[in-house]
Structure 1
Amino acid sequence: MKLMNRHIVSSLVLAAGLSLTSCENFLEEKPYSFLAPANYYQTPGDALAALTGAYDALGDNSSTYMARLLPYLTWFPSDEALPPLLAPQRQLDNFSFAADHADILNLWRQIYDAINRSNTVIERVPGIAMDETLKQQYVAEARFLRGFHYFNLVRLWGGVPLMDKTVTTIDEALVERSSVADVYALIIADLENAGQNLPATNQQGRATKGAAKGLLAKAYLTRASSEAGQASDYQKCADLAKEVIDMTQYRLMPDYQLAVGGANEFNAESLFEWQADRNLLAVGEHSVFGQFTLPRDIIGLVPEAGQTGESNVVSEIGFFNRYDDRDYRKESTFITQGTNRQNKVVTWREFTYPYPAPAWKFVNTKATTRNGYAFSSNFPVLRLADVYLMRAEALNEVGGPTAEAYAMINAVRTRARNRNGASTSTFPANLVGLTKEQFRDAVLDERAIELGFEGHRWFDLVRTKRFVQTLKAAHPEFPVTEKHNLYPIPINEILLNNKLTQNPGW
C-alpha cells in the first residue's frame, strides 16, 4: 500500500517537471538535479514553461480530462448523448457503473494533477525576477485554472480534499474531504483574483478577465441551489454576468453557426475553450469529437472522399426531438442524413447506428486535412450565450421574469432566427407573459438547445434538482436514484487514503 501511495505522490510531485515538455524552450536536455523545484524556477522562461504545463493539464492527450473524460462523465449520464460502441461508457449511460469505473478514477487523478501544476505556478512564479505585471498575470491564469478544476470537482463529487499547495510528500497527499462551502470559498477566491488581474484579451486559448468573471457567475449560480448556497448568490451571478455582457470585446455572433464549430474557434462569443491542437501523433492533444460524433459509413462529410466517422457519440433521440424542425440550431448541430457507401442518400434512421449525429459543433468544415481527428475542434467551455442565459435565470430567481430577464433569453432566441446572419424565420418567437416557474423551465429548455453537447446539460439538471426525474422520464428502465447526483469517490483513492469517506449511497 505504501508503495502505491508513493507512486501516486511521485506522480504529483513530478507533474510540474513533466509539464515542461510542452514548451519549446525546454526541449534541451538538463541535468535532473537542476529540475528540482527549489532550483528550477528562476527566469521568465521558466515561469512561462510552468504556466504552459498548467494549461496542458486540461488535456495532454486525446483520452484525458477535457479531451474526453469530462465530456464522457457529463454527456452519457444525462438525457443528451449515448455511446453505441463504447462498452465502459455504456455503464455511465445506463447507470450500471460503480466506484471502480476507470473514467471516474482517471478524471479524479487528472484533475488533481492539473491542480498541482497550477499550484506550482502560484507558489513559484512570485519568486522569479521578471516583469511584475506579467508575473501577476501568470499567477492569475493559474488561479483561474485552479478555480475551474475545483469547480468541476465540487460539481462532480461534492466536498473534496483541498490542495492549495504543491504536494511534495506522501503525508501531504493524505487529506480528508473539505466541506462544499469550503471548496466554493476557494473557487470564489481564485476566480475573484483572476477577474481582477487577468487582461481583457489574451493569447488564444488562455484565460481572460471575461472568462474569470463568467465562470465566477456560473459558480455563484451553481452554489445558490447547493447545500452551501447563500441568499446573495443569484444576485451576484446576475451582476457578474452583466459585467461580462457589457465588455466590448464580446458579442453574440450574428449567425449561430459562427458561434460554434471548428472553423470558428476563438470568435467574439467565446470566453474560454479547451484548445486542441492538430497534432497527429498518437498522444497528440487533438480532440476526438469530430471523428467520434460523425456517423459511421456516411461518406463525403470529411475532406477526403470515403472517410467516415465512428458513431461513438450519438444523440439520444429524445434529446434530438427537443429541437423543433424550424429551429436553425437543429441543422447547425445535427447530421440527419447523408450518402452511404452504396451511394444512397439515407436518413439518420438508416445510419449504421440509427441515431442523429451531433457533429457540427466538433468538425472544422473548412479543414483540408484528410485525417478525421485533425479537423476536430476545440471544446467550448464558456461562451457569451451561456452568460446571457445565466443572467436571465438569476434575475428570475431574484425577482421573477423582469423585462431584463426577458431581454436576456430573447436575445439568444432572436439570434436563433438568423440564418447566415439575417433574420429569415419567426421561430423561436420571443417569450412573454410567463410565471416565475414557467420562466425557470423556459431557461432550462433554452440552455439544452442553445448549449447542446457543450458540457452543460448534466450540470444543469443536477443543480436545478431535475436530474433524477428527467432521466426516469427518458429511461424508466434505468436504475437512476438521488445518489447519482454525485459521482462516487473512486474506490482506489479511498483504499489509498483512509481519510476519505464515500458519497451517500455508494
Structure 2
Amino acid sequence: MKYQTSKLKERSLGFVAFFALMLFASCSNDFLDIGAEDRIDKTTFYQTDAELVNAINGVYAKQRIVFNHYGTYYLQDSRSDNAALNQQDQPERVASDVFQELTNNQEMLISWSQLYDVVNHANAIIANDREVEGNQELVKRIIGEAKFLRAYTYYQIVTTWGGVPLRLLPSEDFDNIVVGTSPESEVYEQIKADLDDAIEVLPATYGGGKGNEVGRATKYAALTLLGKVELQLGNKSDAETNLRQVLGHYQLLDNYADIYAAGNDNTQESIYEVSFDPAGNTGYSLPNWFIPNDEAIRLGIAAGGNPAQILQLFPTQSLMDEFEAGDLRAAATFSIALGDNDPYVSKFIDLAAASQGYNINMVLLRYSDVLLSLAEAIGENNEAYDLINQVRRRGFGFDPNTPNASVDIDMASPGTFQEKILHERRVEFAFEHQRWTDLKRLKTPEEVVQMMKDQLFEQEGKNYDVKTTDLLFPIPLLEIQISDGAVTQNPGY
C-alpha cells in the first residue's frame, strides 16, 4: 500500500478554503494577460457581456497556469517512455517518474488543484443564471468556450486519475465544496455533452479585436477534441464522424520546426493552443527547466536554463532511437548539449527569450493529430495510409500531398497497423502530452506495464515494481480526507 495515514487537518481546512474562494479571483481584461487576483462581489459580477468576456479570459489564464507548470509533464511525458527524470531531483518528482508516488505527493496535489481551478472558473460562467445584458449571441459563445475549456480539463483529469469528483457548479461556499467520486464513464459523458454544446455555438474562426481574438476555442477545436475523446473510449465510428468534419479546414505547415518557432502562433496547422506572451508578462517559462544552464549560455538565451543542471526531464534513449534516418523531426525535438554530451528537449527553444519567458504557445490540438487520429479511427486501408503518409512526408521535408516512395508506408511495410500508428504519433507529438494516453489506448495494461519496466531498467539499471493499477495516479489524500469518504481512492493505493 502507498497510503499515508498522517493527519492533515490544518492543510485540509486550507484546501477547502482554497476551493471556496476560487470563484472570487478576478479575471484578466486582456485575452493574453493575467490580472491581479482579488475578491469580486458575486452580486455585481457577470451582469453584462463585457464582464462575461473578462470572466472567460480568466479561464484561459488559468489554463495557461496549468501548462506553464512542470506538473503537466510529470502526469504525462515523464510517466511514459518518452522522458526520463534525473534521479537526484526532488524526491516527490522522482517518485512519480518511477511509479512510486505516495497518495500525499505534493507535486501531484498542485496539478490536481490547478486543473480543478480551471474547472471551477469555467463552472462559474456556465452556471451563471443571471440575465446578462448585451449581445446574447456573444453570451452563448462565451458559455460554449467555457464548456470547451471544462471539457478539455476534465479530459486531462479523467485520463490521469480515472473516476473523480465531477464538479459542475462553482465552489462558492463550504456547503457545496464536497463532491463524491463519479465513475469514469460519467466523466466522459459530461465531457462529450459539453463538447456537443460547444460545437453548436462556437464559430469556425475569429476576426480579431477585443473579445474576438484569434486563438480562442472554435467549433473545429471542439470537434477535434470530441474525436479524440471518442477514440480514447474505443468508439471509432463516432471518432471518424467528428474528425472528418475538420478535414480540409487546416493544413500542415511546410516545415515541422515552424510549429514551435518563436512568435509563430495560431498557424494554419494550429486548431487550439495555449497562448503565452512575453510582452504581457505571460511568457512560457517552463522550457527554461528543460535546458542546462551552460547550454543556454552557449546559445545566448538571456533567460538562462536550469541552474542546478538537474533537468526536470530529458529525452530517453528509446525515444531518440525511434526517429528514422532522415526524419527532420528529430532535430526539431531534442538536442545534445556540447558541454556534457547529454540530450535535452529543444522543441520549445526561443533564442530571444528573456526574463518575461519564451514567446512560444503550447499547441494542444493541431491538424496532424486530426490526420493520424482519423487514420486510427478508420482502420487499416489505403485511405488511412494516405493520411499517415501526409504526416510522414512533411516530417521528412517533402510535400505532404505528393506521394513519395522513399518515406511512404503501406500494408506491406513492416509492423502491425497499431505499431505504425504508435510510431508516427510518438515522433510527431513528443513532449506534447500525448504519449501516455496513446499507450493506454493502443496497448493492453499488461503491455504498458512491461514497457515501463523495461524502460526504467534501461534508464536506471534496476527493476521497479510497476503494476496495472499504477496506470492511474492515486487520488490526492487531502481530497479524500476533506470529503469524509465521499471521494474514494483508486485501487492499489
| TM tier relative to shorter chain | 0.7 to 0.9
With over 3 angstroms needed to count, the CA separation of the structure-2 counterparts of 1:478 and 1:204, relative to structure 1, is farther
With over 3 angstroms needed to count, the CA separation of the structure-2 counterparts of 1:44 and 1:240, relative to structure 1, is same
CA drift of 1:38 comes to 2.8
- For the 8 Å contact 1:326–1:427, the answer to whether it is kept is no
- For the 8 Å contact 2:293–2:304, the answer to whether it is kept is no
- Aligned with 2:409 (options 430, 443, 462): 430
With over 3 angstroms needed to count, the CA separation of the structure-2 counterparts of 1:51 and 1:304, relative to structure 1, is closer
Q: Distance in 2 between matches of 1:302 and 1:122?
A: 46
1:412 aligned to 2:391?
yes
Could you say which residue in structure 1 is the equivalent of 2:326?
A: 326
- For the 8 Å contact 2:284–2:360, the answer to whether it is kept is yes
- For the 8 Å contact 2:77–2:436, the answer to whether it is kept is yes
Could you say which residue in structure 2 is the equivalent of 1:388?
A: 371
Matches within 5 A, 1:192-211: 192-202=196-206, 203-211=213-221
CA drift of 1:449 comes to 0.5
- Aligned with 1:17 (options 9, 21, 24): 24
CA drift of 1:43 comes to 1.9
With over 3 angstroms needed to count, the CA separation of the structure-2 counterparts of 1:428 and 1:98, relative to structure 1, is farther
Could you say which residue in structure 2 is the equivalent of 1:345?
A: none
Normalization by structure 2: what TM-score?
A: 0.86
1:502 aligned to 2:485?
no
- Aligned with 2:140 (options 123, 131, 136): 136
1:86 aligned to 2:89?
yes
Q: Match of 1:388, SS? A: helix
Could you say which residue in structure 2 is the equivalent of 1:227?
A: none
CA drift of 1:204 comes to 3.4
Q: Match of 2:276, SS? A: coil
One-letter identity of the residue aligned with 1:138:
I
Q: Distance in 2 between matches of 1:306 and 1:206?
A: 28
Q: Distance in 2 between matches of 1:306 and 1:122?
A: 39
CA drift of 1:214 comes to 0.5
Could you say which residue in structure 2 is the equivalent of 1:53?
A: 58
CA drift of 1:101 comes to 1.0
Q: Distance in 1 between matches of 2:201 and 2:373?
A: 23
- For the 8 Å contact 1:271–1:382, the answer to whether it is kept is yes
Could you say which residue in structure 1 is the equivalent of 2:183?
A: 179
Could you say which residue in structure 1 is the equivalent of 2:315?
A: 315
Could you say which residue in structure 1 is the equivalent of 2:125?
A: 121
Normalization by structure 1: what TM-score?
A: 0.84
Q: Match of 2:180, SS? A: coil
Q: Distance in 2 between matches of 1:49 and 1:29?
A: 13
One-letter identity of the residue aligned with 2:215:
G
Q: Give unmatched runs, 5+ long, in structure 1.
A: 225-232, 341-349
Q: Number of residue pairs matched?
A: 465
CA drift of 1:8 comes to 3.2
One-letter identity of the residue aligned with 1:469:
Q
Greater alpha carbon shift after TM alignment, 495-504 vs 162-171: 162-171
Matches within 5 A, 1:32-431: 35-60=40-65, 64-84=66-86, 86-87=89-90, 88-124=92-128, 127-202=131-206, 203-224=213-234, 233-247=235-249, 250-278=250-278, 285-298=282-295, 302-304=299-301, 307=304, 310=309, 311-336=311-336, 338=338, 340=339, 350-351=340-341, 354=342, 356-359=343-346, 361-365=347-351, 367=352, 369-371=353-355, 374-375=357-358, 377-396=360-379, 401-418=380-397, 428-431=407-410
- For the 8 Å contact 2:16–2:482, the answer to whether it is kept is no
Could you say which residue in structure 2 is the equivalent of 1:458?
A: 436
Q: Distance in 1 between matches of 2:401 and 2:230?
A: 35
Could you say which residue in structure 2 is the equivalent of 1:228?
A: none
With over 3 angstroms needed to count, the CA separation of the structure-2 counterparts of 1:285 and 1:103, relative to structure 1, is farther
Residues 303-357 of structure 1 deviation map (CA, whole Å, 9 limit, x = unaligned): 458955553331111211111232111112111354x4xxxxxxxxx33xx2x22
Q: Match of 2:57, SS? A: helix
Q: Distance in 1 between matches of 2:130 and 2:383?
A: 42
Could you say which residue in structure 2 is the equivalent of 1:230?
A: none
Q: Distance in 2 between matches of 1:289 and 1:334?
A: 16
Q: Distance in 1 between matches of 2:176 and 2:289?
A: 39
With over 3 angstroms needed to count, the CA separation of the structure-2 counterparts of 1:81 and 1:279, relative to structure 1, is farther
With over 3 angstroms needed to count, the CA separation of the structure-2 counterparts of 1:319 and 1:2, relative to structure 1, is closer
- For the 8 Å contact 1:275–1:379, the answer to whether it is kept is yes
One-letter identity of the residue aligned with 2:19:
L
CA drift of 1:166 comes to 1.2
With over 3 angstroms needed to count, the CA separation of the structure-2 counterparts of 1:306 and 1:445, relative to structure 1, is closer
Could you say which residue in structure 2 is the equivalent of 1:470?
A: 451
Q: Distance in 2 between matches of 1:462 and 1:213?
A: 22
CA drift of 1:78 comes to 0.9
Q: Distance in 1 between matches of 2:456 and 2:9?
A: 43
Between the aligned residues of both structures, percent identity stands at 28
CA RMSD, aligned part only? 3.0
One-letter identity of the residue aligned with 1:11:
F
Residues 145-164 of structure 1 deviation map (CA, whole Å, 9 limit, x = unaligned): 11111111111111111111
